[in-house]
Amino acid sequence: MNFDFAQQINPELKLLNFKNALDIAENKLIALPESAFHAVLGQSLVSQADDLATWIDVFYTKAAAKISVKALYFEMNEFDINTDEWFIDGFAYEQDGGPDPLDMEWITDWQADTTMETGTIFIIEGYEKLQNAFETIELTTKDLDNARDWCEQIIIARFMELMRAVHLKAEERGLAWAKLPIYFTEHSYDFIVRSVIS
């Protein structure tokens, strides 16, 4: 993770301004010599929002039968080092601990998770070429290293864009969890975004 690069787009991501964040990151990648990491350009995940909403709804229904769900949290696996499958896992909470970046320890105190409740994770499709690039490409130049790092920022932004899209899809479909706050990030990343539907 290149935290200098992240700081250039995180303020936009926090505000759910995905277009702005992606414009910044994609223009930075375009400015670098062509590489396999450039395959991420223009590759939205939003088309998977319907399937993801259905998957979340199954999880929410099973979790809500056991606890009073007040917040949901989703994370993409640490994809840069786990290249076989890129996926989303989810967690349910009896309390919403809020979005304070200095006090997010409550995220670790979940009451239900998707693999426990449904036995599944949600597999992200369409980025297989990028999975191969992260697996096989040796970073022999600074430009290639930067291309990989900007690609990583774009993937995180695309995942977050998908999560916001699925939250809006839940509202459109009248799903019970649409009015809950949902939080999302990449696994082991301390920058967590919050989506609410007012």
What integer pLDDT is reported at residue 142 of this predicted model? 96
pLDDT digits (tens, 9 = 90+) for 57-106: 999 999 999 999 999 999 999 988 888 899 999 999 999 999 988 888 89
Residues of the chain predicted below pLDDT 50: none
Give me the pLDDT at residue 118, please: 86
Q: Domain extents for the chain?
A: 3-191
Nearest alpha-carbon partner for 167 in 62, 80, 52, 81: 52
> How many Å is the Cα radius of gyration of the chain?
17
| One-letter amino acid for residue 159 of the chain | F
Q: In the prediction, which pLDDT does 188 show?
A: 82
Reference 67, options 107, 96, 97, 94; nearest CA is 94
Does this model's pTM top 0.85? My answer is yes
Residue 179 amino acid letter: K
pLDDT of residue 101: 83
pLDDT at 76: 95
**How many beta carbons lie within 10 A of that of residue 106, not counting itself?**
16
